[in-house]
Structure 1
Amino acid sequence: MPGRNIQFGLYGARGVKGSQAVAQKLDELAGGIATPVTEKRGFLARVRYLTRSGRQREAARRAGFDVKPATVKNWFSGKSKPSRKSVEAVDRAYREVRRANVARHLKERLNREGRGTRVEIHPLNQSQVSRPRQRVVEYRHLNVRRWDRIVDAWEAGDEEALDDAWVEVIVDLGSQWGQYEYVTSVGFSA
């Protein structure tokens, strides 16, 4: 595995792991509450999302958000403010529960009944690398037909499994696949 044995950025190349770019894109597709959690409106919207049903409350509890109903009531009425720890717990639980809620839908949209989704891979930025050390890398695209492992790893928040699943996909680029382990961005839509 060529890309796993190098020191990325040693000569000035810039980019992110392809699996991280995929995770960012999946987060975008998952959508959600746009207002930041640090604002009252964004915080309360996330709490409302996590407490609107018994199933949501149970999922939030598993994700680490477990507060008393009275505390939630006080937050909504304005009688008390959440601590920084509570704000972080709400944001983390919201992301986990949101991912779990949209994962099945994303798999259906991305797999498209076996037709897959076209993925655009934009190569790493080599503008800071001296000329003799630059590689010839170009924009590439491929059609990913099986998204289940990628979405499952993203849903679980397992970066290592997501990286392994992504490497399994880019191997389809042929002998040059190691040049696309780090990228500036990965684009796809569903």
Structure 2
Amino acid sequence: MPDRNIEFGKFGARGVKGYEAVARQLDRLAGFVATPVTVRRGLMARLHYLTRSDHARAAAREAGLTVTDRTLKAWLEGKRAPSRRNLARIEEAYRAVRRKNVARYLLGRLNRGGRGTRVEFHPLNQSQVSRPHQRVVAYRTLNVRHWDAVIRAWADNDDDALDHAWFDGITIELGSDYGAYEYVTNIGFAA
């Protein structure tokens, strides 16, 4: 039975952990603001998202944006600019709040009333691995019907829980060679 890779890349294989590829795909589906936080337009979009209601302000504080209302007002009016550290906090708070807000929507969209979503596993890149050390890994698909643990871990930004939920809860359904898909070039699903 395959298990976790201990020395991934030792012979030249390239790829990312499956849960990282899933997190990237979920981030794309979440629709974050594309303009960087360092540009005024991106900063304003994030601040408006984080301050549009009392609930949003409370979520932003819970996510780590602990500045006074006076400071927020000065940033929104353009009288002051946030420091680099505060820009990073704004970005982190924005992503955390956005993930929490879209998690329920994504869960319904991916579960599709029990029908699930087809997931494509694109195998790791072995082009730099010498022939005797290459393993036979092919493109695989799997219909995933239960996304609850994956979405919950993603929304909480908990990499360990996401890794566990993805590898032990989803990838294991690929059968006896599930360990070959711990590292992949891409995980694709359209929802």
Q: 1:46 to 1:152 in 2, by over 3 A?
A: same
Cross-structure match for 1:173: 174
Size of the aligned set, in residue pairs, is 190
Equivalent residue letter for 2:166: W
Equivalent residue letter for 2:89: A
Instruction: Provide the C-alpha distance between the structure 2 equivalents of 1:6 and 1:90, rounded to a whole number of angstroms.
Output: 36
- Matched position secondary structure for 2:128: coil
Q: Is 1:125 equivalent to 2:131 in the alignment?
A: no
Gaps of 5+ in 1: none
Gaps of 5+ in 2: none
The ranges of structure 1 where at least 4 consecutive aligned residues each deviate by more than 3 angstroms after the TM superposition are: none
- Matched position secondary structure for 2:185: strand
- Matched position secondary structure for 1:4: coil
Instruction: Provide the C-alpha distance between the structure 1 equivalents of 2:14 and 2:27, rounded to a whole number of angstroms.
Output: 22
Equivalent residue letter for 1:21: A
Q: Is 1:189 equivalent to 2:190 in the alignment?
A: yes
- Matched position secondary structure for 1:183: strand
Answer whether contact 2:119 2:142 (CA < 8 A) is retained: yes
Kindly state the Cα deviation for residue 89 of structure 1 after the two structures are TM-superposed: 0.4
Cross-structure match for 1:164: 164
The superposition leaves residues 131-153 of structure 1 with CA deviations (integer Å, 9 ceiling, x where unpaired) of: 11011111000000000000001
Kindly state the Cα deviation for residue 90 of structure 1 after the two structures are TM-superposed: 0.3
Instruction: Provide the C-alpha distance between the structure 2 equivalents of 1:28 and 1:20, rounded to a whole number of angstroms.
Output: 12
Give TM-score scaled by structure 2 length. Answer: 0.96
The superposition leaves residues 79-131 of structure 1 with CA deviations (integer Å, 9 ceiling, x where unpaired) of: 21110011000000000000000000000000000000000010000011111
Give TM-score scaled by structure 1 length. Answer: 0.97
